[in-house]
Each structure stands twice: as structure tokens, then as C-alpha cells.
Chain A
């Protein structure tokens, strides 16, 4: 293990990069250049973490631990396991992808790219922090650049979208903050690992019910209220229907590159939170609320798929499909919380489902970011037009564009051989073993996804070429280079998922152990 504090360096690189942009980034394209350089450094650090990571070890790795505010149980405590590593890799890939995809920014380019990097810092920080206080700072920190990026560089309705996004997420965050403050009041720790440990041996909720005395609330109801608070925070972020209405508006109004980061990396913060905090700390509460949770997941999957079907705007279609895809993650996480009889079969199902969730997070990050990138390229060629009914027959003039976007669409549909399939297969495999009927109903989502994505192929790429698009340019060499790595990853991870699963299988087995009551 390296002696360098790699994780701190990882988080510091984009912050320094952002500051550098603000100081020296004036002039054409310099800001973008600095941003990409910073991303390259961050990627190098991420690769160092990847190569230095030992998947066989079940310990947290690259741990840094320093006292911060000892009187309040606050430490600077960072480290990664398989889950953290994969999320760090995702953030290290998606952010440069988005920055490279950013078109010409004429309005305050320095600020734009600096905010992108601050957002990356927020992502790195929240995927590596292991103390609630410290983690929460990054969680909120990532919100602020995202808000300004939407608010300042977004589409015509950006103001309302940005506020909706901000207020929504903030309400969730406050609920979650209160829940964790209450947990701290009861247990005296903000440490995720310690909280999970206390939860596992049952002392956490005992102290919650004995120490927290709230007027008008029965003590035995307190754990459930705390769970509801934490749940709300992450439910908004993922999002879970019905806390999702901010998402289509925000994704549709945000500039392409920001949508890419929002869906590719930021939406994963919610799922990550469920895996890192909610599942280990509140398994009993989740189990008690299981029917509600399972059907919320089903509603998220099915309602968002149907809503996507009714959209005309390409960005909104992709936005709703994003809700749908993360809905599968929710289905998996909730199923994993079910109190099942101990046994090899149910443990295998839980391991499968959790592996599937992490795989799906990563794969969706790549695929959805690429999809937004393609929609952005269409938009920049069409002069802002991006409604289904405006296009037709573009494959004739832009065959390469169509081919690569087609691969991405099929990856999103979950075609075997591409990355989307394996994660969904594992989630369904495990969830079906645990909760049959909700899982079977969710399969409807798989069908509807195909309907609306093939609708895009039919309406945009096929049919007679509309006369206004005869000069619609195919992908340029630079654009091919931009999307090629993402498309290549779709194939590699679809054919050889072991590349990723090998990293977090051990972590997920450990989490399964934790969930075996």
C-alpha cells in the first residue's frame, strides 16, 4: 500500500484545478485545457488507487484518519472499498468525458469549467468519506456547483429547473442531516463503519429508543422516523417516484455536459448512499417497510418508463430512462434488505443483487452520459431542436453517428453483449429469488424501455430524410474520439464484466454477511 495520502490528493486535485482556472484561465480554450489537465491528473490518481487496490482484502484501503473535532466525534476519515473504488473510477471517467463534450462556452468560461471541477471534487469527496460530517460537506458541496451550472448555462427554463433541483435536494438533505444528528445524539458517533457495526449488534437502535425522547412520539417509532429521514435524503437524489419531478426538468434544461455529470455520476450518489449508509445502518427498518419500498421501486421503474414513452423531447426521454435504470438499483437494494432465512441460496441471491446494483451504477453512468452526449451533438447540429417529430432519416447523412448512438441505445435497452445487460441480469436474478412478484412486474420496464428507445431510432434515424437536414453533418474525427472510449467500454464490460465485478465482489459479499441477520 502506498504511503501517499492518495485519496486526499484525489479530492484536492480538482479543487486546485478549479482555483487554477479561476486565476489563470482567461483566454480562449485555456480554461478547458486546464480542466482537462486536472482531470488527467485525477484520473492518474484514480488509476493508482485501482492498481494499488487489493480486491482480495476485505479491509478498507488507503485509509486516512485524523482527528478533526474530537469533542463532536468528527474525524477526517477517508478510505475506499470495492464500492468506493468503482464510484471514484466512474467520477474520474464521466467528468472529463463531460468536459471534453462541452461545446463552446462564451459566457464566463472560467467559472463554468471551475465549477465542473468543484463538482468532481464533491463527487470524489463523498465517495471516499467515511465520517458523516465530512461526507455531508461534500454531499452538499457537489450540489452548489451543479446548481450554478444549471442556473447560469442552462436552457430557457433554467431558473425554475435549477431552483426545483436545489430546493428538492436540500429538503432531502435536511431530513437526512436531522436523522444522522439524532443518531449521533444517541450513539455519539458519526463514523459510518462504527454505526454499521452498532446496528449489526443491535445496540444502535436500542440506544436510539432509550436515549431519544421526543414529545408525542412513541420511543419504538423513533428508529423508523430516522430511517424515513435518511431515506428521503437519498430518495430525492436517486430519485424514487414520487420524489423525482425535479429530474426531467433539470436534465432537460441543464447544458449537455452538466446533464452528463448529473446522470452519469451525481445520480449515483443517491444509490451509493443507500448502499453505504441506509442498508448497513437501517436493515431492520427497511425490512419492516419492505412491501412499501419494493412497490416504490416498481413504481419508479414502471412509471418512469411509461412517462418516457409520452415524451417528445429527446433529453426528457433520456432523463426518464435514467430514472427507470436507477429504479432497478433500488429494486435490488430493497430486495437485499429482506430478512431471509440464512442459507446459501439466499446469500447468493443477495450477493448477486448487490453486485448487480454496483455494476448497474457504473454501466448506467457510462451509457447515460454517452446518450446525453449524443443528444447534445444532435442539438448542437440542429440549432437547439430536439423534439422527436423534428427529425427523420438522418441515418442516410450521418451513418456513423447513427451507428454509435444506436450501440449506446441498445446498451441502455440492456442488450446482452453490451454493458447494460449484466447488471440488470444480476439484479433481476437476485431480486427474483427474494421477492418474486414485484420483480416480475418490474420486468415490464425492460419491455417499455425498448419501445421508447427504438422509437428514437425510428423517428430520428429512419424514414425519408427530411429536406431541412440534408446537410446534417456526420460525426467529425474529434467527436468520434470523444465517444469512442465510452462505446468501447460498453463492449468490454458487456463481454468481460469480471473486470469490474472482480473489484467489488468481495465488498458485496461482506455487505451480504452484514445483512444476514
Chain B
């Protein structure tokens, strides 16, 4: 076992340590806090690269041999122990490199973005915790450890979404994110318990004894959970509920757009490197539980992904907040990843996860730069013409936009989305996910063009009354589009690097040289240009290229002609007013939940409360009145009949009674006597009276 495998824990431990140290720092040590956070991430990145290199050698040795594990006991339980551990395999290594790299850039960018925030130091504490928890998920070789880090990711996102806690909307969004994801987590937890109960271990890989290894899988597949459903399917679906929550899939997606209340670097982190990626990664990790491509579990995953992909793309079309559009696009793209996982497999889903991480981080940081440049304006209708004032932001944002829209050949998003569509087309149970995916791809190109047009093209909007500036933590809220300025280099350099990655990452996943797929599956990649021209591949490529082109063209035509501004209606709203209203209101999901789940919860709360006060409380009240009645009768008897003789018999009671009577006026005394008499009578009865 090599050094890097044994010490893989250092990768999450470094940022965790940074989080711990900066948590204890006073607010004024800003530079130190940022340096610690960034320094630990850079170190973690180098270690991740080392781990990555280590896995490169594993090729050709077959699937299992590529996994190196290190397990240790956490605590003793009965005659055995509860184990945790970490695993180094291509899946872990590729995620490690991506997470550490993207996080490092976001951290650096944050130094510029958060420069004027009074809680700057605390911000880096939470960022480090976030990254550490995510890295913990990535290296975990135990579902328990994964769950622990999973919850910590939830905590960190809670703290960061609610970072501007003085805003009620941010505080509400943070709570909403935590609770909504926890709904999924409860099912995840049950899945974990079930897996533990059936296999007796939560280690993924443990020399043949792990819960994802053959013997355990055979056992799980062979059993029935209920209604004919296989046990492995039931467990996989419970775990998938956790992924639905974390990765913002329908119907638990509602928290993700609200999470935009956090500072923009947080949004970038949540949407690219950490948090939402965790759900997809979880499913990739427990992929052996899902079974064959046409199994129930994989059907559910694919369908949930497909519905989410189209749903969120539709909603994104009608949003006006630059970050909310991106948020819904993330939801939609995560749907694509799940289509990829369900229909195609780990490599397909993971490829899109990795490419998406780069260009979505780029888009969010670009949006942050725009917001920063426009003095905290987030409404795209109040922007316009920014390409002249923010050239670097414009150029990099355009690359991100094209990658997301799937512009052919040059951009990574094209290749990874193409892989997904290709596998959806080949998926035997149904072709509808493929159609939904295509429609989603079209809409993606459309709404991104719409956004580009509003923000960077057209004429600068000159609005005077800017009412609801979202990021109030930044002081000035007045905006004149014409006064926009380019962001500092601290922010534009990370943008440039991410833009380069958004292009370059294409290389690793083209059908001609599917390096990533081979790497994840543990064998060497073979260069074969001919594969590009295989009929299925070529057709999907052409279709997806046409769809992307059509989306961009439609968007351009619709918006460049209309000259839509903040005062005018969106052209779509003019043509389809009812539909647009539904989309604008996000299919009324929040309203639906407000009227059902949330109201029901509140009602159950009130019901329990009144149950306590009226029903149980009433019974107690009645009993206590009876007791008091008995007490008075006893007192009467005591004073007139027993008359002191008894008191001598139980001296101790009398002493405490006397103490009590000093401040009681006899009430407790009466009680004590009743108790004493009762005890003695009952004792006598029990010992002698009822003895046969």
C-alpha cells in the first residue's frame, strides 16, 4: 500500500483543520484566514493530484484491482467494531482533483468578492468546512462515513446560504435547504440501516466482505423487500431519495433556487464542486446496487432525471434573476446526469458531472462578477450591453454559456451531453427520456441565449428605482447599467482558468478517445477515430448539434427583435401569457408545498399540542382533583381519628413536613401524610394481606 492511500484522509483533513483554526480566529485576522483556507486547498489539490497519478497505474488490472482501500475501526460495538475507511479508485481520484481544483479557484475568487464583508473570516471557515465535508464524501469507503460527511455538507450549506443572516429571506432559505435535503436524508438513513442490517457491514470494499462486493450483492439481489421488489432495489431507491434531496431533483428541488440567497461564490461551490454533485456521486458510488440498465432502480433514476431535466429547463426560461436562471439550469443538468447514470452508467453520468462542474462554476463566478460590476443588481432585465464594460467577464461567460448549451465540437458540455443522449437513445425500456433530454437541451440553449442577450447585448438599461437588491450586504444599491465596471483580477483570473477548462475537458471524453470512461472502468483507452462515425454516435451528435443550434437561433431571434426591457413584457409572455405565468411561478411547487406539507406539519403540531393540553391534561386534572379529595378526607381522619399517634411512628416524614410547613401552610404536610399513610397501608396489604 502506498503512502498516498494510507494518508488519503489528509485531503479532507487539511481544509477541516483550516476550518477549525479559522473558527477560533478573531474577525480581524482576515488575511490569515483566507491564506489558511486557500493554502490548505492548494495542498489538498496537490495531494489529490498525487492520488490521481497513483490510480493511473491501475489500468489494465481489471475493475476491482483498481480499488485500494484502508479501513480502520471507529468504535467498538459488541464483540466487533464499527468500521470506517477510505478508498482510492478512479471515481474518487477524478472527483478529488475536480473538487480541490474548482474549490481553490472559488476560494481565490471569494477573496475579491467578499472583500468588504464584515464576516470575511467566518466565511472562509464555512467554505473550508464545506470543501472538507465534500472531500470526505469522495474518499469514504463506508456508507456511514459518507453519511457523516453528507450531513456535514448539509450543515455547511446551511451556514453559507444563511451567511447574510440579517436578511430574513436568507435565514428562511438556509432553513429550507437544510430541512428539504433532510427529508431525503431520512430515507437515505433508512436505506443505510437496511443495508447494514442485511449485509452486516457498511464498508463498500473490504477484501470481498464489503457491501458492494459480490457476495453481499448476491445476497441482496436474492431477497425480496416487499411487493416483489428486490432488496437491493429497495435499498438503492432509499439511497436515491437522499440523492434527490441533495442534488435538487423533482420533487425535492425547491431548496436549490432559494439557495441563491447565499453569496455568489457559495452558489458556485454548491452548484459545481460540492453539495449537488454529492447526490450524483453517491449514486455512482453505490452503482453496483442499482443492477442492470433495465432494472427498476435504474428506471426510476432515469425517469426522475428526465422529468427534472425538462421541468427545470422550462422554468429557467421564465426567470429574470441571473442566479436563479443558473440555479434552474443546474437542476436541469443534474437531471441529465441522472439520465446518464441510469441509462448509461457511471462513466456517462460522471463525465457530465465533471464537465458541468467547471462550466457551471465559471458561469456562477461570471454571474458574480456581473453582479459585482453592476453594484449588486441581479435582475437581467436591468442589465444590458455589458460586453463593452466587462470584456473578460463577457468572453469567459460566453464560453461557459456555449459549453452549457452544447455548442458542438469545441466545448466540453457538448461531448458530455452527447454521451448522455446517446445512452438514452440506446436505453431499452423507453425512448421518452431521450426525447425529454433533447427538449431539455433545446431549452437550455434557448434560455442561455436569452440570458446572454439581456445581460451582455442590447443597450444598457438605465433604471433609477432599484427596489429589491438581493445582496444588501454590499452597500450601494443604485444601479445605472452604464456605470458597470470590470471586476478585479482576483476575480477574472479564476474565470479565465475555468473557461480554459470548459474547453479543454472535451479532450478526455470524445467518442474517438473515451479516456475518462475507460479510466473509470479501469482499463486503458484506445484511440479510434472511426468510432466518431459509427451510425448511432454520429446521428446523436448531429441531432444534438442541430438542437443546440436551433435553441440558440430561436433565442436570438425572439429576443433581439423584441428589444425587451425591464418595463416591457417578455416576448414569450406576450405570446403565451398563461404558460409563461406558470413557468414564472415555477409550476407553483412552493405554493403546493405551502398548502399541503407545511400546513399539515403545522396542523399536526397544533394537534399534538392541544392533545396534551386538553386530553392528557384533562385526565391529569381529573385525577388530581380526586387525589385532592382523598387528601382532604384523609386529613380530616388524621386530625380527628388518628390524632398524632401515627406521627411518632414515622418521624422522618414529620421532620420534613415541619420544614415544609414553614413555607407551605400545611398543604404539603397534608400530602406527606397521605403519602405516608398510603405507603404503609399498601405495604402491609401487599406483604401480609395478599399472601396466600
Cα(A170)–Cα(B631), bound, Å: 14
Q: A421 and B77 in contact (CB under 8 A), knowing A349-B197, A454-B179?
A: no
A224 close to B (CB within 8 Å)? no
A212 close to B (CB within 8 Å)? yes
Contact of A242 among B165, B616, B663, B682 (CB under 8 A): B616
Cα(A303)–Cα(B602), bound, Å: 12
Please, which residues of chain B bring their CB within 8 A of the CB of A248?
612
Which of B185-193, B425-433, B456-464, B588-596 is the contact stretch? B185-193
B196 close to A (CB within 8 Å)? yes
Please, which residues of chain A bring their CB within 8 A of the CB of B608?
303-304, 306-307, 309-310
Cα(A244)–Cα(B620), bound, Å: 10
A33 close to B (CB within 8 Å)? no
Cα(A310)–Cα(B611), bound, Å: 12
Which residues of A pack against B, CB within 8 Å?
A: 144, 148, 152, 163-164, 166-168, 170-171, 174, 177-178, 181-182, 184-185, 211-214, 241-242, 244-246, 248, 303-304, 306-311, 345, 347-349, 351-352, 355, 393, 395-396, 410, 415-417, 421-422, 425-426, 428-429, 432-433, 436, 439-440, 443-444, 446-448, 450-451, 454-455, 457-458, 461-465, 496-498, 501-502, 505, 508-509, 512
B151 close to A (CB within 8 Å)? yes
Q: List 14 A-B contacts (CB under 8 A).
A: A174-B682, A214-B690, A307-B605, A307-B609, A307-B612, A351-B77, A446-B182, A450-B182, A457-B171, A461-B165, A462-B162, A462-B165, A462-B168, A502-B76
Please, which residues of chain B bring their CB within 8 A of the CB of A311?
609
Contact present for A421 and B148 (CB under 8 Å): yes
Kindly provide the distance from the CB of A307 to the nearest chain B CB, expressed in whole angstroms: 4
Interface residues of B in 138-188 (CB under 8 A from A): 144, 147-149, 151-152, 155, 158, 162, 165-168, 170-172, 174-175, 178-179, 182-183, 186
Contact of B189 among A163, A168, A446 (CB under 8 A): A446
B643 close to A (CB within 8 Å)? no
Please, which residues of chain A bring their CB within 8 A of the CB of B617?
245
Cα(A515)–Cα(B516), bound, Å: 54
Q: A244 and B193 in contact (CB under 8 A), knowing A306-B608, A463-B166?
A: no
Contact present for B78 and A512 (CB under 8 Å): yes
Given known contacts A355-B77, A426-B77, A446-B186, what 16 new A-B pairs fall within 8 Å (CB)?
Answer: A163-B624, A164-B620, A167-B623, A168-B620, A174-B679, A306-B601, A306-B609, A309-B608, A310-B605, A310-B609, A351-B78, A433-B193, A444-B186, A458-B174, A498-B74, A505-B77
Please, which residues of chain A bring their CB within 8 A of the CB of B611?
303, 307
Q: A447 and B690 in contact (CB under 8 A), knowing A426-B77, A432-B197, A498-B75?
A: no
Please, which residues of chain B bring their CB within 8 A of the CB of A443?
186, 189-190
Q: A498 and B76 in contact (CB under 8 A), knowing A185-B690, A310-B609?
A: yes
Cα(A444)–Cα(B678), bound, Å: 42
Contact present for A505 and B166 (CB under 8 Å): no
Please, which residues of chain A bring their CB within 8 A of the CB of B207?
none
Cα(A463)–Cα(B175), bound, Å: 12
B627 close to A (CB within 8 Å)? yes
Cα(A426)–Cα(B602), bound, Å: 30
Contact of B147 among A184, A185, A416 (CB under 8 A): A416
Cα(A496)–Cα(B190), bound, Å: 24
Contact present for B691 and A464 (CB under 8 Å): no
Cα(A167)–Cα(B305), bound, Å: 58
Q: Interface residues of B: mostly helix, strand, loop or mixed? A: helix
Which residues of B pack against A, CB within 8 Å?
A: 74-80, 144, 147-149, 151-152, 155, 158, 162, 165-168, 170-172, 174-175, 178-179, 182-183, 186, 189-190, 193-194, 196-197, 200, 601-602, 604-609, 611-612, 615-617, 619-620, 623-624, 627, 656, 660, 663, 671, 675, 678-679, 682-683, 686-687, 690-692
Contact present for B75 and A463 (CB under 8 Å): no
Contact present for B605 and A182 (CB under 8 Å): no
Kindly provide the distance from the CB of A183 to the nearest chain B CB, expressed in whole angstroms: 10
Contact present for A415 and B155 (CB under 8 Å): yes
Please, which residues of chain B bring their CB within 8 A of the CB of A241?
616
- Considering only CB atoms, which chain A residue lies closest to B226 in the complex? A436
Cα(A457)–Cα(B165), bound, Å: 10
Kindly provide the distance from the CB of B27 to the nearest chain A CB, expressed in whole angstroms: 8
Q: A348 and B78 in contact (CB under 8 A), knowing A167-B624, A417-B148, A443-B186?
A: yes
Q: Interface residues of A: mostly helix, strand, loop or mixed? A: helix
Q: A345 and B162 in contact (CB under 8 A), knowing A307-B608, A309-B602, A454-B175?
A: no
- Considering only CB atoms, which chain A residue lies closest to B598 in the complex? A451
Cα(A182)–Cα(B691), bound, Å: 9
4 A-B pairs with least C-beta separation = A462-B171, A309-B605, A351-B78, A416-B148
Please, which residues of chain A bring their CB within 8 A of the CB of B75?
422, 496-498, 501-502
Contact present for B175 and A458 (CB under 8 Å): yes
Cα(A68)–Cα(B152), bound, Å: 55
Q: A462 and B166 in contact (CB under 8 A), knowing A181-B687, A429-B193?
A: yes
Please, which residues of chain B bring their CB within 8 A of the CB of A171?
623
Cα(A381)–Cα(B52), bound, Å: 55
Please, which residues of chain A bring their CB within 8 A of the CB of B627?
167
Contact present for B200 and A345 (CB under 8 Å): yes
Contact present for B152 and A463 (CB under 8 Å): no
Contact present for B166 and A211 (CB under 8 Å): no
Cα(A308)–Cα(B611), bound, Å: 12
Cα(A393)–Cα(B164), bound, Å: 11
Cα(A343)–Cα(B487), bound, Å: 67
Kindly provide the distance from the CB of B241 to the nearest chain A CB, expressed in whole angstroms: 12
Contact present for A181 and B683 (CB under 8 Å): yes
Cα(A455)–Cα(B183), bound, Å: 16
Contact of B200 among A174, A212, A348, A351 (CB under 8 A): A348
Cα(A214)–Cα(B78), bound, Å: 43
Contact present for A174 and B620 (CB under 8 Å): no
Query: Most B CB atoms within 10 A — which of A178, A410, A444?
Result: A178
Contact present for A245 and B616 (CB under 8 Å): yes
Contact present for A348 and B80 (CB under 8 Å): yes
Query: Most A CB atoms within 10 A — which of B601, B612, B615?
Result: B612
Cα(A425)–Cα(B155), bound, Å: 18
Please, which residues of chain A bring their CB within 8 A of the CB of B193?
428-429, 432-433, 439
Contact present for B692 and A211 (CB under 8 Å): yes
Please, which residues of chain B bring their CB within 8 A of the CB of A182?
686, 690
- Considering only CB atoms, which chain A residue lies closest to B16 in the complex? A417
Please, which residues of chain B bring their CB within 8 A of the CB of A347?
78
Cα(A168)–Cα(B690), bound, Å: 26
Contact present for B179 and A450 (CB under 8 Å): yes
Q: A416 and B200 in contact (CB under 8 A), knowing A395-B165, A440-B190, A447-B182?
A: no
Please, which residues of chain B bring their CB within 8 A of the CB of A417?
148, 151-152
Please, which residues of chain A bring their CB within 8 A of the CB of B606?
310
Kindly provide the distance from the CB of B100 to the nearest chain A CB, expressed in whole angstroms: 21
Kindly provide the distance from the CB of B199 to the nearest chain A CB, expressed in whole angstroms: 10
Kindly provide the distance from the CB of B192 to the nearest chain A CB, expressed in whole angstroms: 9
Kindly provide the distance from the CB of B260 to the nearest chain A CB, expressed in whole angstroms: 17
Please, which residues of chain B bring their CB within 8 A of the CB of A416?
147-149, 151-152
Cα(A351)–Cα(B147), bound, Å: 22
Please, which residues of chain A bring their CB within 8 A of the CB of B186?
443-444, 446-447
Kindly provide the distance from the CB of B194 to the nearest chain A CB, expressed in whole angstroms: 7
Contact present for B168 and A463 (CB under 8 Å): yes
Contact present for B175 and A501 (CB under 8 Å): no
Q: A177 and B682 in contact (CB under 8 A), knowing A303-B611, A465-B166?
A: yes
